[in-house]
Structure 1
Amino acid sequence: MSKHSPIGIFDSGVGGTSIWKEIHSLLPLEHTIYLADSTNAPYGEKPKEEIVALSVKNTEKLLDMGAKIIVVACNTATTNAIKHLRSTYRVPFIGIEPAIKPAALNTRTKCIGILATKGTLSSALFAETSSLYSRDIKVIEVVGKGLVQEIEKGGKDSPKVEKMLRELLDPMIKGGIDHLVLGCSHYPYLIPTLKKMLPPEVSIIDSGMAVAKQTRLVLQSMDLLANTKEAAPEFYTNGSPSVLRSLLSPIADSFKIETLDF
């Protein structure tokens, strides 16, 4: 493994590109390989055993491609499978969890909202993190049912998604939240719409930059940070590349975006 081996990133579809953007911005010299497992999206409604199996499949594909570190850019895969991955493979893993801690520490109304998938909200790891930081505050958890599927179809700005979000946000707004935690890597693509719907005093929190900083920290500790630019980012999907290309626009033309069976 060398400094110029790639950073591998996988998600249950295209949403993890929101994490990739933060990593690429912070670590522009790094060669990155992104796997969009769109065929199996969303992971959030699958049983834990299947989530683990899919995470293993994606991990082994990235290891075959020479990954020096793997970013699990999926909240559901992190909360359900990362312990198994870390105990099975020698490569370091970076996970992503809903950013409950900053929301809980900074809330003024003592009420925060978490929008996530069923698989994340029902996981043991999420329950452990939530209980650690939310003892003295009210947490309104809402399953973003159907949102991932619409984003995977390219409908992040559609009237249908707007209607879905209004219904999902209603109990949070009525409950008086002042922080909204996005617990799915697809959801940052909804921030422009969310900002139009939420009261101006509500802060929206996602985990993208925290994941990028942790990736840099781990690579530094292992002396594996790239020091020259060796290769352009690569993106592979087992679904349609058109949505992936649209989310990466206008920089998509300079990247390799291909369909791959995995």
Structure 2
Amino acid sequence: MSKIGVFDSGLGGLTVLFNLNNSNEYVYVADQKNNPYGEKTIEQLLDYSKKIIDFLISKGCDKIVIACNTVSANVSNELRKIYNEIEIIDVITETVKLINSEKYKKVKKILLIATEKTIESNMYQKLINKEVKGIATKDIVPAIENLASKKEIIKIIDRYLEKEKGKHDAILLGCTHYPIIKKEIEKYLQIKSIDSISAVSKYVDNISTKLDNNNNNNLNNIKNDKYSNLEIYTTKDEKYLEKQIKEIFNKDIKVKILK
């Protein structure tokens, strides 16, 4: 059984985690103390990531999934140089492969929404072989982290995307928090969305050692009392993350504090 570390600035990375094969062990870190990452410097992103990866390695993780577009776009290559003894998987590489594949050949114009740092990195724009327009939507992550109502979320979506209606073939959710409000975004723009979940989970499942190919379940299908292969940590408030997980994912999972 492989032990895989997964981290994000908050609860967004859980959208990736909860779609990984349950044959592996997982340790998840939500760096909610320093959330949101989109406004942080490169130096800060590197510092936060190193501390988390050091912790995940100390927990016995042999692979690390950066379930954060901001970190993936800005410091993933540097992290690979520092931690060259383990495999580091970022969310952007596999997502770009998916978008550039035959599956999306009819998609010509993509609207990318992401944090400021992800947009500024120009990573998606450089790697995707289609027309990509990027918009920094910095208020969405705090709204999701604060468990904003659907009405509040729609107001934020309207503020950022009102002028983009009818201009794009698809919208790329360039932040792992955004699939949580995928339905609202798709309904507002009347186009399909693309996110990192399927591409990253498929890649991680494929490269995981001792993967049980006969087990087709994922974490979403495990009963709430069957989370023995999963540890979740937050750097801020464990009770609040438990509440977030219950309200957003309808799961009862014990969260630990990482100081």
- Normalised TM-score (structure 2): 0.84
**Structural mapping, 1:101-250, within 5 Å:** 102-103=98-99, 106=104, 108=106, 110-123=108-121, 125-130=123-128, 133-134=129-130, 137=131, 139-155=132-148, 157-174=149-166, 176-199=167-190, 202-219=191-208, 223-225=209-211, 231-249=228-246
For 1:40, what is the secondary structure of its paired residue?
Answer: coil
For 2:205, what is the secondary structure of its paired residue?
Answer: helix
Greater alpha carbon shift after TM alignment, 177-186 vs 210-219: 210-219
Counterpart residue identity of residue 168, structure 1: Y
Counterpart residue identity of residue 162, structure 2: D
For 1:39, what is the secondary structure of its paired residue?
Answer: coil
Separation of aligned partners in 2, 1:184 and 1:149: 12
Q: Does 1:97 align with 2:92?
A: yes
Separation of aligned partners in 1, 2:193 and 2:105: 12
Q: Is the 8 A contact 2:98 2:199 kept in 1?
A: no
* Post-superposition CA distance 1:168-190 (Å, at most 9, x none): 1123215x212000000010011
- Runs (4+) of structure 1 exceeding 4 A deviation are 100-105, 226-230
Gaps of 5+ in 2: 216-225
For 1:252, what is the secondary structure of its paired residue?
Answer: coil
2:218 corresponds to: none
Shift of 1:259: 2.2
Shift of 1:77: 0.6
Q: Is the 8 A contact 1:235 1:258 kept in 2?
A: yes
In angstroms, what is the RMSD of aligned CA positions? 2.5
Q: Is the 8 A contact 1:100 1:181 kept in 2?
A: no
Separation of aligned partners in 2, 1:230 and 1:161: 31
Separation of aligned partners in 2, 1:117 and 1:158: 20
Shift of 1:167: 1.7
Shift of 1:126: 3.4
Counterpart residue identity of residue 78, structure 1: S
Q: Does 1:61 align with 2:60?
A: no
**Percent identity over paired residues:** 30
2:221 corresponds to: none
Gaps of 5+ in 1: none
